[in-house]
Structure 1
Amino acid sequence: MSEHNTTDMPDKGRLQIQVTSEVTALPISDAVVRISYTGVPDSQLEELRTDSSGQTETIELETPPLEYSLNPAIESQPYSEYTLQIDAPGYEPVSIAGAELLPTVTAVQNLSLRPSDSGQSSEEVFVIPAHTLYGVYPPKIPEEEIKPVSETGEIVLSRVVVPEYIVVHDGSPRDTTARNYYVKYKDYIKNVASSEIYATWPEDTIRANVLAIMSFTLNRVYTEWYRNKGYDFTITSSTAFDHKWIPERNIYNTISVIVDELFADFLSRPNVRQPILTQYCDGRQVQCPNWMTQWGSKSLGDQGYSPIQILRYYYGDDLYINTAESISGIPSSWPGYNLENGSTGNKVRQLQEQLNVIAGAYPAIPKLTADGIYGPATTASVKKFQSVFGLPATGITDYRTWYKISEIYVGVSRIAELT
């Protein structure tokens, strides 16, 4: 598409790029990001630089009309595609072709760069394939939603644990040439949701789909489905077997915030310990009786259905939302109530200590006295943290913020231990 007149791109989406080091997990400042239309390489539109938090400013870029991603009858591509070239001194350059921008929402492109060993640096190129609602992908091969528990003790886990990382096999199970990726669980869910639904959809539709994706994934984790078949991964990126996951694709703020809010949840049936393998299809190219359809869930969201009502509409009334008993890789769990101006105690001190470690890596976040008193300084530090990491900047440490601080703290301090 070389004709970029404003008639076919009447709306605007937003884009922000975040760059960290693959080795230290620390932000990379002064990385240069060049943005052009995919397919028109010499059409540079913007050149951005990352700040001390490794982030560019958020810019507006043209997209197709909002209606395209909201109406299943419209078959035009609902997102625009941009090519991002990222260069930072001392790192291997990366190019991403086909970053997907939808109107009205912010696309976030997270990238970790590999330090360059020699003077020779070769650009790594990632080509983002079509969105699953727009391209043609193999439909899911149906499976039982509850796996048999055999006497041989194949299922070893006695409780549902949210893993810190999962291993994603980027291909179908028997494809030995496909690479395995270690991916943080939340990042995996955000990637899949961004690949399989449109971020412009109603919030409760997004919640229902995120719950289905997480429950399916946790079923694979809990039953050790692939490991019991002799494979060394948790899940695949093949839509015939699992979900679409795409290396280095951008995610969207509307999806990211919902995953941060729900990440410990899954779907249950009475008296069944394992998370339910909630399979679904798109409902436009493929139909699937007794499973959720994504376009159908969009229509129910438009009608005001809640996430559990959407899910029960498809999977039956005995489905309910459960919360995992534990979350891996977290120094300590959320206190169970918001920490805010006036809060005191050990949990506040712990929060302050974690923020100080993070501030060592992200100098935009102010350092604190770890005195266990949540005053204006702590509020300001939390607010800045939230704005850097894509959460509503309230200055209040709610569930999402507590676990996001934990996650960043673990990433930054773990690397410090290794070095």
Structure 2
Amino acid sequence: MFNKYKILYQAQLGSGNSGILQLQVINKANAYPIENAAVQIYNKNNPSRVLYSLITDISGKTPEVELITPPIEYSLEVTPYQPYTEYIIIVTAKGYQTVVINSAQVLPVIKSIQPVSMSALIPGINDMEVIIIDPNYLFGTDTPKVYENDVKEYAEGTDAKPVMIPEFITVHNGVPSNLAARKYIVQYVSYVKSVVCSQIYATWPEETIHAYSLVVISFSLNRIYTNWYKRQGYDFDITSMVSFDQKWFYGRNIYTNVSRVVDNIFNNYLSRPGIIQPILTQACRGELAICPAMISLWGSKELGDRGYTAIEILRYFFGDTIYVNSTNNIAGTEVLWPGTDLTLGSSGKAVGHIQDQLITISGVYRAITVPEDDGTFGQATVAAISDFQEIFNLPATGILDFATWYKISRVYARITRGFGQ
């Protein structure tokens, strides 16, 4: 399928190694796309030279650009060399606060989306927002996670509640005792994607990415399910610190292959027989068998290279009793996915529901075809879903699958309720 966004500037590439970056710019208050935002991209090592000057379209998206990166080998084995290139991005738009991102981490071969949420400008008060993205966990110097019991006994028992996927998660951007640290209310699925992109490399095997995404999901759900921090008197669900929880950055770029894995499994989590709560699955940097009872990140990559499946990787580190569980208790969703893909010719209440949501979304994202509104999956609905998938970085198949259903639900919620970041 022709990709209307793609522009490649091969003449600027000297190393033969490159990755793809695209920006998606929205109004922070309501998630509406911002058209005609001006974007400038600089290599962090040469910030005086503008590499690209871009303008967003009616969907708030820029063309894709190809950017120089280090060799892919730097992200496939432990080396002292930074495996990604950092790019400073400046975004301006009339009536909005300027956003500076320092910086997007571009990996070789992989495409990533840089989300940008812009606030209304209040002159002299909020002229500029600067977003700092620190190194990936594998390349940085973060204090490692200290192992803690992976099941909280107080959360089990006859009054244990069912597991629910939250719509939002509140992230404390610092150590728990730092009361001055900023808190962010973030869409839960977006939070998971940011953590995965911040702790492993998206160039790794898909089964490793799948396995680690489940680790992040299960850890996050355990913190929420057990009210770990709220029981201690705090007003947040989780921190952004690896030494306590998981590494997370507000405003970082998201690799599309990671995004698609998470979109397909966000309602899964890791369980053990007889335990209701999601398991607090923890991680360390090390190689195989270097941190008992945790998943070794480099070790999981090695197992992926050997052909292990996601569940085989997980059982290698967490034991044979670990298994993948799932829940249909998904907060913020009006109607659950019907359980089977909907395609051309499908009909019924589920089709009508998604048509109603797409009609609302198409009034904001005007590049989306207006679908039929009769509960029948016709050609206009195929086109609407395909348009939506392209704008929101899903495979543009025109098929209403699990990932697309819930992505539509999340976008609809954001543009109609305007809450979360």
TMscore range, shorter length: over 0.9
Counterpart position of 1:313: 316
Tell me by how many angstroms 1:285 deviates.
Answer: 12
Match of 1:116 among 121, 126, 144: 121
Give the counterpart of 1:232 among 235, 239, 247.
235
Measured in 2, the distance between the counterparts of 1:25 and 1:120 equals: 22
Letter in 1 for 2:355: Q
| Equivalent AA in structure 2 for residue 78 of structure 1 | P
The residue that corresponds to 2:210 in the other structure is 207
Does the CA-based 8 Å contact 2:371-2:383 persist in structure 1? no
- The alpha-carbon distance between structure 1 residues 98 and 336, as it changes in their structure 2 partners (threshold 3 A), is same
2:228 partner letter: W
Distance 1:93 1:10, change over 3 A: same
Q: How does 1:254-403 map to 2 (within 5 A)?
A: 254-283=257-286, 287-403=290-406
Q: Is the 8 A contact 1:207 1:258 kept in 2?
A: yes
Residues 155, 226 of structure 2: 8 Å contact kept: no
Specify the SS of the correspondent of 1:290: coil
- What's the % identity of the aligned pairs? 45
Q: What displacement does 1:156 show?
A: 7.1
TM-score by length of 2: 0.94
What's the TM-score once normalised by structure 1's chain length?
0.94
CA contact (8 A) 1:165 1:185 kept: yes
The residue that corresponds to 1:99 in the other structure is: 104
Q: 1:43-81 deviations in whole A, cap 9, x for unaligned?
A: 100001110011111111000011111112x22110000
TM-superposed CA distance for 1:179, in Å, is: 0.8
Say if 1:156 and 1:223, in contact at 8 Å, map to a contact too: no
Q: Distance in 1 between matches of 2:86 and 2:293?
A: 34
Counterparts of 2:124 and 2:141, CA distance in 1: 41
CA distance in 1, matches of 2:272, 2:335: 29
* Partner Cα separation in structure 1 for residue 338 and residue 95 of structure 2: 41
Describe the SS at the equivalent of 2:47: coil
Contact 2:355 2:381 (C-alpha < 8 Å) held by counterparts: yes
Summarize deviations over 1:247-270 as a string: whole Å, max 9, x none. 111110010000100000000000
How many angstroms apart in 2 are the aligned matches of 1:374 and 1:242?
Answer: 44
Does the aligned pair in 1 maintain the 2:168–2:186 contact within 8 Å?
A: yes
Structure 1 residue 150: Cα displacement:
6.8
Question: Residue 167 in 1 paired to residue 173 in 2?
Answer: no
Alpha-carbon distance in 2 for matches of 1:60, 1:150: 48
Residue type at the aligned position of 2:295: M
1:409 corresponds to 2:412? yes
Query: Which residue identity is paired with 1:109?
Result: Q
Equivalent of residue 81 in structure 1, options 83, 86, 101? 86
After alignment, is 164-173 or 281-290 more displaced? 281-290
CA distance in 2, matches of 1:140, 1:285: 17
Partners of 2:277 and 2:194 in 1: CA distance: 23
Letter in structure 2 aligned against 1:301: G
Are the structure 2 counterparts of residues 249 and 156 from structure 1 closer, same or farther at C-alpha, using a change threshold of 3 Å? farther
Question: Could you give the per-residue CA deviations for residues 137-158 of structure 1, whole angstroms, max 9, x where no partner exists?
Answer: 101011001011279x9x9750
User: Given that residues 164 and 328 in structure 1 are in contact (C-alpha distance below 8 angstroms), is that contact kept between their aligned partners in structure 2?
Assistant: yes
Q: Which amino acid aligns with 1:139?
A: P
Structure 1 286/43 Cα, relative in aligned 2: closer, same or farther at 3 Å? Answer: farther
Please, which of 148, 151, 160 is the counterpart of residue 146 of structure 1?
A: 151
Pick aligned residue for 2:47 from 33, 41, 44? 41
Q: Which runs of 5+ in 1 are unaligned?
A: none
Long gaps (5+) in structure 2: 1-11
- Shift of residue 120, structure 1, vs aligned partner: 6.7
Structure 1's 87 and 215: CA in aligned 2 closer, same or farther, altered over 3 A?
Answer: same
Deviation string 1:105-163 (CA, Å, 9 cap, x unpaired) is 11111111000123775221112111110111101011001011279x9x975010000
Paired position in structure 2 for 1:125: 130
- 1:40 offset after TM fit, Å? 2.2
1:135 equivalenced with 2:155 (yes/no): no
Q: 1:134 corresponds to which letter in structure 2?
A: F
Q: CA offset at residue 24 of structure 1?
A: 1.9
Superposed CA RMSD in Å reads: 1.9
